[in-house]
């Protein structure tokens, strides 16, 4: 199985604060990879690096064999269109309705007129159970609905890779479970590669093919969820104990 994403010796610091300190990571095609870690350990930064929103200080990031750190902007945009990104709070455009939000990435799609874009947006909203909310503004819906609408928008360009930044944070357990089910269902239907950044252990257990724990800028352990859970490594054991209580 080939790798969809390969990170090699990745370093990133903001001023004196080192966030990533030599990360090596392979995400095989079609797998759901969950990156666990406490808040502020650079998990979200890692996702922004993968999609080229930030530049690493050193190291390489290959997405489908292309090094996104050195691509010219036009080619980087081509790579970005193969990636769907669900931001932590949905990042919906607040002046647009949900339908317009989901149709927004389709504006650059050649050979798709406005009606087709809207029909496709409606279809995507239906896939996340929000067809009737097509004309609502982001300010009129709840946090969980924002995440679902954000997910519909992330799917608009039919991406090969999906990046999820804390998809269940700030949600009640039932809604969080619904979002995890949705991620699982979409993964089953679309066979996309997914990277999920979270500290939600239940979510990780539900959706992950493989899991890694990031701590102080390094990946301290990687494997199947149950392997990590059984690990005697003090940092890993402590993380599972602490997060298991929450």
Partner 1 sequence: MFEWFGEVAQFTYRAFRAAITRPYEFRELIRQMDEIGSRSAFLVMLAGAAMGVVLSLETRSTLIRFGAKSSLPAVIIISTITESGPIITGLVVSGRVGAGIGAALGSMKVTDQIDAMEASGINPHGYLAAPRILACILMLPLLTLAADFSGVFMGWVATTLAEPTSLALFITSGLKRVTFHDFIPPTLKTVVFGGIIGIVSSFQGMRVTGGTEGVGRAATSSVVLSSLFIILSDVVLVRFILEFFP
Q: How many CA atoms lie within 13 A of 78 on its CB side?
A: 7
Torsion sign across C-alpha atoms 45, 51, 56, 62:
positive
Q: Contact between 51 and partner 1 (CB under 8 A)?
A: yes
Q: Does residue 140 belong to the site contacting partner 1 (CB under 8 A)?
A: no
Shortest separation between residue 245's beta carbon and partner 1, angstroms = 29
Should residue 80 be labelled a site residue for partner 1 when binding is judged by CB under 8 A? Answer: yes
Q: How far is the CB of 161 from partner 1 (least distance, A)?
A: 11
Judged by CB under 8 A, does residue 103 bind partner 1? no
x/- map, 148-177, partner 1, by CB under 8 A: -----x--xx--------------------
Among 9, 24, 58, 108, binds partner 1 (CB under 8 A): 108
Beta strands in the chain (DSSP E): 3-14, 17-28, 32-36, 58-63, 66-67, 83-86, 161-165, 193-198, 210-215, 218-223
Helix (H, G, I), strand (E, B) or coil at 2: coil
Q: Does 49 bind partner 1 (CB under 8 A)?
A: no
Distance separating alpha carbons of residues 8 and 26, to the nearest angstrom: 9
| Closest by Cα among 48, 32, 44 to 183 | 32
In the complex, least distance from residue 150 CB atom to partner 1, rounded to whole angstroms = 8
Return the closest-CA partner of residue 201 out of 229, 178, 165: 229
Using the contact rule CB under 8 A, the part of the chain among 24-32, 105-113, 124-132, 175-183 near partner 1 is: 105-113
- Tell me how crowded residue 58 is: count the other CB atoms within 10 A of its CB: 12
Give the footprint of partner 1 on this chain (CB under 8 A): 48, 51, 53, 73, 77-78, 80-81, 83, 85, 87-89, 91-94, 104-105, 107-108, 153, 156-157
């Amino acid at each position: 199985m080939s790798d969809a994403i390969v990170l090699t010796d990745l370093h990133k610091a903001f001023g004196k604060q080192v966030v990533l300190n030599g990360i090596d990571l392979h995400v095989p095609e079609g797998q759901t990879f969950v990156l666990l870690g406490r808040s502020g350990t650079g998990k979200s930064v890692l996702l922004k690096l993968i999609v080229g929103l930030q530049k690493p200080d050193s190291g390489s990031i290959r997405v489908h064999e292309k090094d996104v750190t050195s691509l010219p902007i036009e080619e980087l945009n081509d790579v970005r269109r193969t990636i769907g990104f669900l931001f932590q709070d949905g990042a919906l455009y607040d002046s647009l309705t949900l339908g317009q939000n989901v149709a927004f990435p389709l504006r650059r799609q050649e050979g798709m007129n406005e009606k087709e874009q809207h029909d496709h947006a409606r279809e995507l909203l239906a896939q996340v159970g929000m067809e009737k909310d097509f004309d609502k503004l982001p300010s009129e819906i709840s946090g969980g609905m924002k995440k679902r609408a954000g997910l519909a928008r992330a799917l608009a360009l039919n991406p090969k890779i999906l990046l999820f930044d804390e998809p269940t944070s700030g949600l009640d357990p039932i809604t969080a479970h619904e979002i995890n089910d949705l991620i699982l269902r979409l993964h089953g239907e679309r066979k996309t590669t997914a990277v999920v950044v979270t500290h939600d252990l239940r979510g990780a257990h539900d959706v992950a093919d493989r899991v890694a724990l990031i701590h102080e800028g390094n990946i301290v352990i990687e494997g199947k969820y149950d392997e990590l859970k059984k690990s005697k490594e003090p940092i890993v054991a402590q993380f599972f104990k602490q997060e298991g209580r929450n």
